[in-house]
Structure 1
Amino acid sequence: MNKTININLANLFFHIDEEAYSKLKLYLEAIKRSFANTHGSDEIIADIEARIAELFHEKMENDRQVITQKEVDEVISIMGQPEDYMVDEDIFEDQPKSTPKSSSVKKLYRDTDNKYIGGVSSGLGHYFRIDALWVRSLWVLLTIFSWGGFIFIYVLLWILTPEAVTTAQKLAMRGETINISNIEKKVKEGFDDVAEKVKNVNYEKVGNRVKNGSKSIFNSIADIIMFLFKIIGKIIGIILIITGAAGIVSLIIGLFTVGILDIIHIPGMEYYHMVNATDIPVWLVSLFVFFAIGIPFFFLMYLGLKILVNNLKSIGKVAKFSLLGLWLISIILLSVFGISQAAAHAYTGNVTVEKVLPLENPNQLINVKLKSSKWQEQDNTLGFNGLILDYTEDGEEVLIFDDIRFYIKSSKDSLAHIEIRKKANGSSLRDATETAGKINYSYLLQDNTLLLDDFLTTAKNNKFRDQEIRINLFLPIGAMVKFENFPKRCWMLRTDNDQDMNGCEITEHLWIMAKNGVLECQDCEHNKNKEENSDRDGKIIINQNGVDIDIKDGEDSFKMKIGKEGVQIKSGENKSENTAVDTIQ
């Protein structure tokens, strides 16, 4: 059992065991003695402590982890030994005398020591090992050819790229090993530069006045721009956090809501099972949707936190790749689910039944009448878009559709025929045909009245497959037809007619099947105006007002009207004013 000690190293808090603390303390004291008579020793020691603290922080997996002698040895091997290592050989007798390990990991920083605006170009120059002048020239060219678009990219790099402040960060920016000797060298170079500038200040004062003035102006403008963009960056960060958090919370609520509704069988969830071709549980689909949408929202929120919190600890590569893998799996499975749903409607199958209508009197008026279903008349049924889910008297769940289409055509013989074509979709032609064959539809012929169902039904386990019924009614030439009780769905009834009327208008008139296979209207205004047209050779009109016959043969004419007034017969020459009129009451 080892005793632990709490230490504050470079303003970072660590737990360290007693043996590791003793070794670290002796190591830091040896460093202080090595730089006791060195100019800038305080800054060198501070940078060394900051680098040691950074190395300890990288090795810690959580805030409660204790620094042991193993971590101290690893840090000492990276940082190297002070100059008086041999003097304190008894202190570090267990320390290997091998050369220090290299830890030169190049990082991207802004070099504010050589900046003109934000130090981005100088930092990129160090990172790619090219002169900053070429980077600045490239920025100018890209900005010109992109009509200023690369200014936004520069500002974005300015905001997101950290500034190289400490000696360790400046060494990492150049890709140099961060150890004691390099830190000492870098600090001394800084003091030498300052001393050189002080020494030559009188010689450079006049020559650099304009340059210094311009740099001062640029620095002031840069500080103002940087301040404004920091504010904008913080606002963007807040928006990203709010958006990400709101999206995640909404998805969590939706996930639990859908799962609970499916468990307790709330009405409405049944429609998911009617259209689901893969039989995947709704809660599993909801979970995939949650991961597919929620993970991007999480990274949006994390990005916002990174913008607002400078020292936010990373979630780690394991967590990042795990979330990425989970997101990809969810996207792939949802894609497979969507493809399966689309495949369930890839083919269309038909089942056709044709029968002769045994009319008592083919010359008598044929009434085509629709009858509604009992489910359509009830208010307690649940449905959408023409689809109703209900129960039969035997307790069987059935799907009820109103996709019924009627077509009136000319018969090829003297008999009336009815053709019922059932249609449905499926994952294969065989599956679609079998699904179509399971559609239930009926009709009834009473005298000369044809009663047709205004609906079709199928069992619930057949699911929604775009089921529909197409009825072709073939009428012989001269047959008269009238439509009753048709709903106001104009697309439902279709037929060629001489008035170019739609399905709703057709149901308001009396029709007769002509020789050309087109229905002719018998009570339209078009027929009433025929009497005024003297160029016609004759006409025969039969409607609710009676019979009107008008025959012309050259100069002779014959007219007969049978109506409420009785029978009126008129005959004579067209050019003569004297005509013979007979009236029979």
Structure 2
Amino acid sequence: MNKTVNINLAGTFFHIDEDAYLKLQHYLEAIKRSFTDSQGRNEIIADIEARIAELFNERVQNDRQVIRIKEVDEVISIMGQPEDYLVDDEIFEDEPQTSYERKSSASKKLFRDTENSYIGGVASGLGHYLGIDTIWIRLLWVLLIFGMGTGILLYILLWILVPEAKTTAEKIMMTGEPVNISNIEKKIKDGFETVTETVSDVAKNVSDSVSNAAKKVDFNKQGNKIKSSSKTFFDTLADVIMFFFKIIAKFIGIILILVGAFALIALIIGWFSVGVANVVNIPGLDLIDIANAGNTPIWLASLLVFFAIGIPFFFLFYLGLKILVNNLKSIGNIAKFTLLGLWLISIIGLVVMGIRQASEHAFNERVIEKQELLITANDTLEVKMTDNDLLRNRYDRHDSFKVASNEKGEKTIYNSDILILVKSTTDSLAHISIEKSADGRDYEKAIERAKNIHYNYTLKGNELNLDPYLSTLSKNKFSDQEVTVILYLPEGTVAKFNNNTKHFLNYRIPSNYVNHYLNVTEEGIICNDCDDDEFEVNIDVPNVKIDKNGIEIKGDKSHLKINDEGINAESEEVKLKIDGDGINIKSDN
């Protein structure tokens, strides 16, 4: 059973085994002795202790874990022994002495370099991390800010998430150098200006020569290690594979950052465009309000959409940063759970709004207005759509919708969803039926919206003029408003539909019947002056044709034709023919 000791190292408490404590104490005392006459001794010792505390923290899983002698040995191997870095006065004599610096593996980490900064040190920190001159990073920020405008958001996010290099150890890690006694000493001594310029130059030259010699020796040592097969072939191969995996991971991280950043910027622009629509008049946003049958506040819906989509993209951006930056500062559990809560609330809110919006179309009701027309069985009725400059496609019921002010200055919906039907009647006089339909969350609301539809027509002699659009005030919202015009004509009446009614006619009246005289019979509509060659049925199905030659259906790899000669069907493997001679089937197999 070993005795444990509580120690305070650089402001952090640790539980340490007694043997490990004694070894650490002797190690720190040796370091202090080696820097007895060194300039900045206190600062060097403090930074060394801070670095040791940081290395201990990396190896401690929880606050109760005891540091053993194994962890102390690992830290000493990283930091190096004090005698490895001693450079005494003899190196200034004629014969230079060679000191050997112990290498330790170090990975470059991203910090903000506030010592060489104009704003927050992001550019200089990226310059150290990427090995690029800081001026190029700053030029890139200028291009991003004045080019696409993304630089501001990226800079702010990096300013918030990337930690500042405060301690000497962090400043050393920022440049990719190993954090050991030698580099800590060098970093601190560089900050003092008490030595004259001449001595500094001499010391620099000597330091460079010593460093080069040390690097050379270390390189040779490393080469000897490789040559002596300290690493097997498979270990080397694994290192190469891991290297490529790291490159791929960094590339994925860059993609995630770009996708997340652009998505967030687009969402912010969209939220400001929609959410502040009452302050800034943006064309086209009135259509969103008209489609909002549930009367949900636009700013609230846009805010929920922003959180529901933006939070996942923020974490995507954060994940990309985590991949690229090993020591990225965490946003904290409070922030994570807060964002998660906001996201869940946004999803639930959008679901509720969606259900409410869908409920506004739960019922479809109609109101009917009928009126007699002074048209008898011996008359000829001409039907046409009135001219108007209101809708873009004024004679097409499939693509005409507009919001404009009426003659009273009221915002009004204009819609060309009009359908014309013809039915025979045994009455002596014709009559017209205007059926108006609309959706609503209940029967009463649907009836109310249907009654608020305005539709006009006029009969001048034997000419019936129909409006190509219906109208309703915008407060009734877009609720699938439709108007069906049903003409009940006595049997024997002749009807002639103008060419501009072509897209409004029911499918029972072929489009090629327009501008022809049609007899209304009990069986249906008969064209008096249509040429048989003009027979054609227009149906809204691709690759299907019905005309005087029969029915023809074409597929990507098949073909079907039905006419007076029989049935012919072909595919890549089978051919079928049915005619007066019987059934003939051919197969490539």
| TM-score of the superposed pair, with normalisation by structure 1 | 0.53
Code of the residue aligned with 2:517 in structure 1: it is: L
* Partner Cα separation in structure 1 for residue 234 and residue 319 of structure 2: 30
Distance 1:216 1:80, change over 3 A: closer
Distance 1:452 1:80, change over 3 A: closer
Q: Paired residue for 1:522?
A: 528
1:483 aligns with 2:489: no
1:364 aligns with 2:379: yes
Please list the CA deviations of residues 64-83 of structure 1 after superposition, one character each: whole Å capped at 9, or x if unmatched. Answer: xxxxxxxxxx97x864899x
Please list the CA deviations of residues 48-72 of structure 1 after superposition, one character each: whole Å capped at 9, or x if unmatched. Answer: 987743677999xxxxxxxxxxxxx
Q: Is the 8 A contact 1:408 1:473 kept in 2?
A: yes
* Partner Cα separation in structure 2 for residue 515 and residue 49 of structure 1: 101
SS at 2:390 equivalent: helix
* Partner Cα separation in structure 2 for residue 527 and residue 475 of structure 1: 28
SS at 1:376 equivalent: coil
Q: Paired residue for 1:351?
A: 367
Distance 1:362 1:312, change over 3 A: same
Q: Paired residue for 1:512?
A: 519
Q: 1:442 aligns with which of 416, 440, 456?
A: 456
* Partner Cα separation in structure 2 for residue 320 and residue 305 of structure 1: 16
- The 5 Å alignment of 1:233-244 reads 233-244=249-260
* Partner Cα separation in structure 2 for residue 53 and residue 248 of structure 1: 35
SS at 1:375 equivalent: coil
Distance 1:470 1:222, change over 3 A: same
Distance 1:52 1:410, change over 3 A: same
1:457 aligns with 2:471: yes
Q: By how many angstroms is 1:283 displaced? A: 2.5
Q: Is the 8 A contact 2:414 2:472 kept in 1?
A: yes
Q: By how many angstroms is 1:264 displaced? A: 2.6
Q: 1:318 aligns with which of 315, 329, 334?
A: 334
Q: Paired residue for 1:428?
A: 442
Please list the CA deviations of residues 441-470 of structure 1 after superposition, one character each: whole Å capped at 9, or x if unmatched. Answer: 122222222222211111111111110100
1:494 aligns with 2:506: yes
Code of the residue aligned with 1:306 in structure 2: it is: K
Code of the residue aligned with 1:346 in structure 2: it is: A
Percent identity (aligned): 41
Distance 1:290 1:352, change over 3 A: same
Q: Paired residue for 1:539?
A: none
- The 5 Å alignment of 1:302-313 reads 302-313=318-329
Distance 1:328 1:454, change over 3 A: same
Please list the CA deviations of residues 247-305 of structure 1 after superposition, one character each: whole Å capped at 9, or x if unmatched. Answer: 11221122223334442333311111101123233222222111111111111111111
Distance 1:80 1:226, change over 3 A: closer
Distance 1:396 1:384, change over 3 A: farther
Distance 1:372 1:468, change over 3 A: farther
Q: Paired residue for 1:393?
A: 407
* Partner Cα separation in structure 2 for residue 470 and residue 306 of structure 1: 61
Q: By how many angstroms is 1:374 displaced? A: 4.9
SS at 1:486 equivalent: helix
Code of the residue aligned with 2:386 in structure 1: it is: K
Q: By how many angstroms is 1:330 displaced? A: 0.9
Please list the CA deviations of residues 321-361 of structure 1 after superposition, one character each: whole Å capped at 9, or x if unmatched. Answer: 111111111111112112222211121111112222223x5
Return the index of the structure with the highest Cα Rg: 1
Q: By how many angstroms is 1:526 displaced? A: 4.0
Q: Is the 8 A contact 1:398 1:459 kept in 2?
A: yes
* Partner Cα separation in structure 1 for residue 363 and residue 247 of structure 2: 58
Q: Paired residue for 1:133?
A: none
Q: By how many angstroms is 1:488 displaced? A: 4.8
* Partner Cα separation in structure 2 for residue 307 and residue 396 of structure 1: 56
Gapped regions of structure 2 (runs ≥ 5) = 1-7, 32-46, 70-227, 535-589
Distance 1:217 1:427, change over 3 A: same
* Partner Cα separation in structure 1 for residue 243 and residue 392 of structure 2: 69
Q: Is the 8 A contact 1:399 1:457 kept in 2?
A: yes
SS at 1:451 equivalent: strand
Please list the CA deviations of residues 5-33 of structure 1 after superposition, one character each: whole Å capped at 9, or x if unmatched. Answer: xxx97xxxx6x5xxx9xx99x99999346
Q: Paired residue for 1:471?
A: 485
* Partner Cα separation in structure 1 for residue 475 and residue 282 of structure 2: 19
* Partner Cα separation in structure 1 for residue 294 and residue 66 of structure 2: 61
Stretch moving more, 453-462 or 519-528: 519-528
Please list the CA deviations of residues 486-541 of structure 1 after superposition, one character each: whole Å capped at 9, or x if unmatched. Answer: 2552xx102646xxxx23x221211111242x11111122499xxxxxxxxxxxxx
Q: Paired residue for 1:228?
A: 244
Distance 1:264 1:80, change over 3 A: closer
Q: Paired residue for 1:252?
A: 268
Code of the residue aligned with 1:426 in structure 2: it is: G
SS at 2:506 equivalent: strand
Q: Is the 8 A contact 2:384 2:501 kept in 1?
A: no
Please list the CA deviations of residues 133-164 of structure 1 after superposition, one character each: whole Å capped at 9, or x if unmatched. Answer: xxxxxxxxxxxxxxxxxxxxxxxxxxxxxxxx
| TM-score of the superposed pair, with normalisation by structure 2 | 0.52
* Partner Cα separation in structure 2 for residue 340 and residue 34 of structure 1: 69
* Partner Cα separation in structure 1 for residue 533 and residue 493 of structure 2: 18
Distance 1:376 1:233, change over 3 A: closer
For this pair of structures, how many residues does the alignment match? 348
Code of the residue aligned with 1:371 in structure 2: it is: T
* Partner Cα separation in structure 1 for residue 314 and residue 393 of structure 2: 47
SS at 2:369 equivalent: strand
* Partner Cα separation in structure 1 for residue 472 and residue 500 of structure 2: 23
Q: Is the 8 A contact 1:371 1:485 kept in 2?
A: no
Code of the residue aligned with 2:54 in structure 1: it is: A
Q: By how many angstroms is 1:477 displaced? A: 1.3
- The 5 Å alignment of 1:242-281 reads 242-281=258-297
* Partner Cα separation in structure 2 for residue 34 and residue 304 of structure 1: 39
Q: 1:31 aligns with which of 4, 8, 21?
A: 21
Code of the residue aligned with 1:227 in structure 2: it is: F
Please list the CA deviations of residues 382-422 of structure 1 after superposition, one character each: whole Å capped at 9, or x if unmatched. Answer: x9942211222222221111111001111133321211110
Code of the residue aligned with 1:476 in structure 2: it is: P
* Partner Cα separation in structure 2 for residue 495 and residue 487 of structure 1: 12
Q: By how many angstroms is 1:214 displaced? A: 12
- Alignment RMSD (CA, Å): 4.1
Q: Is the 8 A contact 2:513 2:530 kept in 1?
A: no
Q: Is the 8 A contact 2:422 2:486 kept in 1?
A: yes
Q: By how many angstroms is 1:377 displaced? A: 7.7
Distance 1:365 1:57, change over 3 A: same
Code of the residue aligned with 2:518 in structure 1: it is: W
